[in-house]
């Protein structure tokens, strides 16, 4: 039992892996057999705290809400509302505040829902663990584990804390969440000499967040909670500040420009009015009216709603967006740095090839075994399923155990060799477990009389030996080879043929296992050493983690869109080459960089290398971070996928971090901007397409809103400069900004993707929101709109038309409807695109026209907006002026199509 001395305070960097077992036990003041007493454990729980990760959990709801009011556009609206209130315009004030509240509520709701979804994912943590207390094995909540506790590890169980192994019986640990290594790591108990060994090389330690995939073991807990390696990294990640997205920076820049423009406009109009002899109060009200006209009140709400709709659509395609602006950032991506396992592949081992002496059979599309050598293939599958510790659960089709053994059980079942039935008819009567020194496993099975005639070499033997393991290991203990259902001596020619076949399969990225057999007259006639002699080599099975069926197409779609895909994996270079070759990311002779090579590069050398290399193997998460930084230094917009804790720095550093929702750790999810609910690379490409669509639509309604606002400004300015009365009343301007601008702008947010969306190259990272002709369009169309409405005002005032203001008001509204219909596509004509290809736009324009007619012809609204009914001819005249805008924009698009160079079709 533990003595009364105080145990050494646990420390994740204390070098526990360099200590012998008795030294570890002494320092922690515990007993390997009895464990801690309940009283001692309670005291340590009080001292060290619960074994849980303390997370900031994102921002509090109050902080999330407060952040919505920091954007320049929102501050600009609040300023406009305050000015409206000071001059007594309560209606404007209420409407502007309503817009601010709507915009902030939508953003808050989306962020809050994402945080709640991630909190729900945290409930998937280890619920219970087997702990030795007072000499008895008890099941406890993982949060109750303390330093000094002795825990038992079994296949399928998760490790609740960092611990030093006391026993390891064929124990393999899946450490990919922490180290990125996709293959389970074999464990042992001996002390290690290298104090600075990386986590992946500490074979006598197990760490929180990893899982036992094979064997069993016993370990003593050395650190818990935030003192574990998982907790230490989680704390570092939580201290990293989140940078603004590209869209946030662009919208902030736009907001500042609008603020400056509004202030200059107010000053200009105010000064001009005073110089022309207008009264001080009158000019102040006019200047404020123009300032309100200059501010696109609906822009923040429309952007937020568009992003929220995009996030909703992405969620339906299995991508959970944590921050709304990240939706658009996905559309800016120039490079995707993807994991291999689980993202490009299915994260499960599957047998693909059977190889027996003299023949090879591809299983990828087969539904039955071939007639030739059928008995050998059947024996190979049967032996793989019987010499196997994987278990088939009572729940249908679920196989528990080591991924390699599970693959052997699955492929046998595929050809009607169910493991449960095989074991019932051929029970295991003896075994020699797998060991890392021997690299093989052996089992002895009783063979019923009716089965002996169907198995080569078993016709007169009641017992069969099946031995499974590495090819070189089985060649050492085999004396013959099974060929055409008969035994032949394993001479040098056969050895060379088998080794050559093994090398071919391994070079293709497959993991290769071999099977050997022999018959026995009695299950006890031979010792363990004798059992592993004079075996007959049957054949080999090759297995790999198969590609996701949609991955190849998704990589090709990304390539056509001008997006590079880099595969970054912890696997062997041969495996990486094979998978990358199937994906089209690697061709013979292309360079492949390993983590060891990356380590020797300076940052400048690495920046040069990442331009040409698409496959990185044996890479640690720290190397992934360097790759991302090198890409960004070269001007790339990088999306990074990751699932492990050590991936979190790269996820945080990336322009868009994408965590795995199924296999990802909580820390990775918290560091990411998006979470893939299906861990699928194709989902990333789909999200990129959605992001591009959203950015296109944001540009469209910025084009629409700024153009119409400029049209209003020119209308006001030209009338004022010409000495005419104020063309529009403040309430009429607000109506246009909210209704005439608002509904169609919202409909632009759901405009379908342009046909060539994923054939365009990514836009330049530093591109201004007004780039590619948007600024030019805004200026000339806004001026044209102002000239048309000014000409209507000038003609009506000169002709003595009393309700000239209603005609100007209606002309401006109709011109905006003509404009929005014309700009639905950057290049396609509306007649090619189809009026009803966006039903919401048709409804929005129809509803806006009906509302405008109601304002003009319905008496209650006439009194509010100071309007009078127009005659049929006046209404037709307004429509004719509005039609000029539509024709002019359609001509602009025609000219752009005519001048555009012929594009080379994408490579097939």
Q: What residues are labeled active site?
A: 339
How many whole angstroms separate alpha carbon 652 and alpha carbon 236?
Answer: 11
In what side-by-side order are the strands of the sheet with 656-660?
319-321, 674-676, 656-660, 638-642, 335-338, 564-568, 615-617, 593-594
Question: Vertex 719, ends 714 and 720: CA angle to 5°?
Answer: 100
Phi, psi at 466, each rounded to 5°: -120, 130
**Taking a C-beta distance cutoff of 8 angstroms, is the pair 537, 345 a contact?**
no
How many whole angstroms separate alpha carbon 509 and alpha carbon 39?
Answer: 53
| Beta pairing class for 335-338 and 564-568 | parallel
- Render 723-757 in DSSP notation, one character per residue: TPPPSS-HHHHHHIIIIITHHHHHHHTTPPPPTTG
Question: Vertex 710, ends 727 and 876: CA angle to 5°?
Answer: 55
Task: Specify which residues 205 forms β-bridges with.
Answer: 164
DSSP H or E stretch at residue 440: strand 440-446
663 Cβ partners below 8 Å, 6+ apart? 176, 177, 342, 347, 643, 679
DSSP state of 548: P
Chain centre to alpha carbon of residue 868 = 56
DSSP H or E stretch at residue 168: strand 162-174
How many whole angstroms separate alpha carbon 387 and alpha carbon 432?
Answer: 10
Q: What's the Cα-to-Cα distance from 327 to each of 40, 70, 687, rounded to whole Å?
A: 51, 20, 8
3-state secondary structure of 439: coil
* Dihedral sign from CA coordinates of 150, 154, 159, 162: positive
**Taking a C-beta distance cutoff of 8 angstroms, is the pair 333, 655 a contact?**
yes
Name the maximum alpha-carbon separation found in the chain: 121
The C-alpha torsion from 684 through 689 and 691 to 693, rounded to 10°, is -170
Q: What's the Cα-to-Cα distance from 205 to each of 143, 175, 621, rounded to whole Å?
A: 20, 11, 19
How many whole angstroms separate alpha carbon 896 and alpha carbon 777?
Answer: 12
- Render 798-822 in DSSP notation, one character per residue: HHT-TTHHHHHHHHHHHHHHHHHHH
**Taking a C-beta distance cutoff of 8 angstroms, is the pair 240, 200 a contact?**
no
Output 89-96 pairs: Cβ under 8 A, ≥24 positions apart: 89/288, 89/730, 91/731, 91/734, 92/292, 92/730, 92/731, 92/734, 95/297, 95/734, 95/738, 96/297
How many whole angstroms separate alpha carbon 511 and alpha carbon 502?
Answer: 9
**Taking a C-beta distance cutoff of 8 angstroms, is the pair 646, 180 a contact?**
yes
Task: Specify which residues 172 forms β-bridges with.
Answer: 186, 214
516 Cβ partners below 8 Å, 6+ apart? 466, 467, 474, 477, 478, 535, 536, 537, 538
DSSP state of 18: G
């Amino acid at each position: 039992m533990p003595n009364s001395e105080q145990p050494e305070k646990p420390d994740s960097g204390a070098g526990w892996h360099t200590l012998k077992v008795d030294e570890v036990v002494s320092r922690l003041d515990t007993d390997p057999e009895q464990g801690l007493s309940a009283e001692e454990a309670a005291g340590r729980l009080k001292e060290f705290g619960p074994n849980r990760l303390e997370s900031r959990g994102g921002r509090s709801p109050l902080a999330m809400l407060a952040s919505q009011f920091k954007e320049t556009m929102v501050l600009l609206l609040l300023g406009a509302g305050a000015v409206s209130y000071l001059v007594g315009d309560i209606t404007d004030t209420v409407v502007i505040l309503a817009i601010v509240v709507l915009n902030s509520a939508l953003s808050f709701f989306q962020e809050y829902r994402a945080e709640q979804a991630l909190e729900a994912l945290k409930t998937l943590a280890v619920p219970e663990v087997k702990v030795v207390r007072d000499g008895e094995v008890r099941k406890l909540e993982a949060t109750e584990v303390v330093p000094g506790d002795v825990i038992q590890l079994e296949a399928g169980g998760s490790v609740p804390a960092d611990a030093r192994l006391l026993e390891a019986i064929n124990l393999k640990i899946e450490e990919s969440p922490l180290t990125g290594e996709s293959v389970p790591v074999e464990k042992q108990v001996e002390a290690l000499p290298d104090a600075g060994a990386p986590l992946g090389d500490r074979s006598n330690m197990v760490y929180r967040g990893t899982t036992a995939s094979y064997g069993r073991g016993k370990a003593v807990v050395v650190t818990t909670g935030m003192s574990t390696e998982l907790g230490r990294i989680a704390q570092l990640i939580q201290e990293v500040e989140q940078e603004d997205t590209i869209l946030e920076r662009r919208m902030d820049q736009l907001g500042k420009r609008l603020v400056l423009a509004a202030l200059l406009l107010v000053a200009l109009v105010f000064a001009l009015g005073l110089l022309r002899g207008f009264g001080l109060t009158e000019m102040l009200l006019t200047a404020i009216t123009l300032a309100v006209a200059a501010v696109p009140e609906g822009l923040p709400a429309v952007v937020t709603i568009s992003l929220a709709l995009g996030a909703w659509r992405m969620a339906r395609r299995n991508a959970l967006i944590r921050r709304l602006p990240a939706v658009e950032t996905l559309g800016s991506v120039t490079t995707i740095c993807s994991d291999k396992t689980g993202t490009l592949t299915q994260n499960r081992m599957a047998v693909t090839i059977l190889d027996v002496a003299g023949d090879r059979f591809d299983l990828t599309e087969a539904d039955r075994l071939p007639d030739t050598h059928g008995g050998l293939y059947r024996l190979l599958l049967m032996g793989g399923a019987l010499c196997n510790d994987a278990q088939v659960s009572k729940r249908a089709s679920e196989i528990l155990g080591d991924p390699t053994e599970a693959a052997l059980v699955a492929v046998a079942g595929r050809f009607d060799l169910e493991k449960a039935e095989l074991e019932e008819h051929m029970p295991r009567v003896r075994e020699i477990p797998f060991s890392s020194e021997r690299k093989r496993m052996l089992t002895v099975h009783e063979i019923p009389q009716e089965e002996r005639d169907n198995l080569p070499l078993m016709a007169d033997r009641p017992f069969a030996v099946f031995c499974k393991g590495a090819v070189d290991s089985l060649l050492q203990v085999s004396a013959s080879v099974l060929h055409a259902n008969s035994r032949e001596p394993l001479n040098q020619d056969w050895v060379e043929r088998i080794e050559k076949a093994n090398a071919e399969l391994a070079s293709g990225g497959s993991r290769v296992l071999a099977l050997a057999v022999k018959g026995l007259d009695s299950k006890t006639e031979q010792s363990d050493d004798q059992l592993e002699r004079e075996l007959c080599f049957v054949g080999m099975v090759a297995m790999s983690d198969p590609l996701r069926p949609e991955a190849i197409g998704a990589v090709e779609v990304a390539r056509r869109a001008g997006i590079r895909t880099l595969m970054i994996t912890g696997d062997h270079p041969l495996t990486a080459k094979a998978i990358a070759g199937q994906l089209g990311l690697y061709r013979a002779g292309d360079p492949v960089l390993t983590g060891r090579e990356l380590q020797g590069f300076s940052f400048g050398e690495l920046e040069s290398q990442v331009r040409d290399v698409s496959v990185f193997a044996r890479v640690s998460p720290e190397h992934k971070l360097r790759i991302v930084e090198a890409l960004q230094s070269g001007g790339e917009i990088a999306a990074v996928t990751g699932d492990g804790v050590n991936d979190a720095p790269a996820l945080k550093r990336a322009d868009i971090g994408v965590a795995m929702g199924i296999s990802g750790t909580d820390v990775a999810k918290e560091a990411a901007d998006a979470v893939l609910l299906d861990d699928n690379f194709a989902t990333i490409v789909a999200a990129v397409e959605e992001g591009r669509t959203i950015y296109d639509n944001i540009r469209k309604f910025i084009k629409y809103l700024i153009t119409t606002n400029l049209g209003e400004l020119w209308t006001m300015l030209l009338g004022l400069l010409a000495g005419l009365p104020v063309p529009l009343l403040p309430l009429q301007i607000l109506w246009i900004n909210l209704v005439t601008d608002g509904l169609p702008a919202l409909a632009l947010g759901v405009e379908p993707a342009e046909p060539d969306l994923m054939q365009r190259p990514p836009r330049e990272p530093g591109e201004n929101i007004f780039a590619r002709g948007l600024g030019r369009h805004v200026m000339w169309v806004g001026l044209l709109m102002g000239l048309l409405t000014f000409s209507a005002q000038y003609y009506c005032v000169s002709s003595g038309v009393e309700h000239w203001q209603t005609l100007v008001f209606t002309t401006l509204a109709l011109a905006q409807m003509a404009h929005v219909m014309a700009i639905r596509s950057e290049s396609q004509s509306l007649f090619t695109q189809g009026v009803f290809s966006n039903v919401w736009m048709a409804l929005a324009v129809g509803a806006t026209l009906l509302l405008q007619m109601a304002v003009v012809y319905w008496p209650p609204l006439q009194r509010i907006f100071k309007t009078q009914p127009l005659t049929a001819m006046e209404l037709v005249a307004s429509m004719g002026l509005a039609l000029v805008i539509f024709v002019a924009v359609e001509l602009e698009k025609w000219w752009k199509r005519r001048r555009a160079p012929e594009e080379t079709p994408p490579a097939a």
